[in-house]
Amino acid sequence: MPNSSAGGTGQGRKRAPRTWHDLAAATDQKRDRWIQTGSRVMNHTEFVACGIEWDAIAVQPIQLGLDALVAMQLGTRRGYRILADHLRDELYVIVPVDHADHFTGLPGVRVLSRGHQLLMPRTPEHTSQVADWVGTPGETLALVDPRRLAERLQDLAPALYEPVTP
């Protein structure tokens, strides 16, 4: 019986929500779209000024930023503005302005604030290798809590930069 559940209600199972790592993956489907877009990328992206409504926290490598989002237990459906630059292996997490002090001294992390610009796709359908929406923007500006993000990055960063012993 198609779409029947164990309870016999006839309703299909809900799909598990996609993880941050799933959303950030450079899939074959994304790569095909990027190739099709080709040189038209600049028609579908724009540089947006940081430090006015939000700051961007640049985290390198992407894996570190994604692991921090998971550790924060952020839901992927809330509409957080999160971008991946797959060429630079960098994740950009959008946070409220004026919280740079939380990120001082964190390895692999820099703050883009007033005077910086971030390349963003105009729509979620127009992503590219250097401006790929990981968290799709919602109707409202959902920003990540900078204090919590800094704490998670602080917890995770040492393991990333410790030398591997045989």
Is the residue at 12 inside a domain?
no
Is the residue at 115 inside a domain?
yes
The secondary structure of residue 125, as a DSSP letter, is: T
90 close to 58: Cβ distance less than 8 angstroms: yes
Structural domains counted in the chain:
1
Neighbours of 113 (CB within 10 A): 19
Is the residue at 140 inside a domain?
yes
Is the residue at 3 inside a domain?
no
Tokens 């127009």, residue located: 126
Q: Nearest 5°: CA angle at 25, between 88 and 75? A: 110
Is the residue at 126 inside a domain?
yes
Q: What is the pLDDT along the chain (166 residues), one digit of tens a residue?
A: 444 444 444 455 555 557 777 777 777 777 777 666 555 545 678 899 999 999 999 999 999 999 999 999 988 888 899 999 999 999 999 999 999 999 998 989 999 999 999 999 887 777 788 888 888 777 777 899 999 999 999 999 776 655 555 5
Is the residue at 1 inside a domain?
no
Is the residue at 31 inside a domain?
yes
Is the residue at 76 inside a domain?
yes
- Domain hosting residue 149, numbered range: 20-158
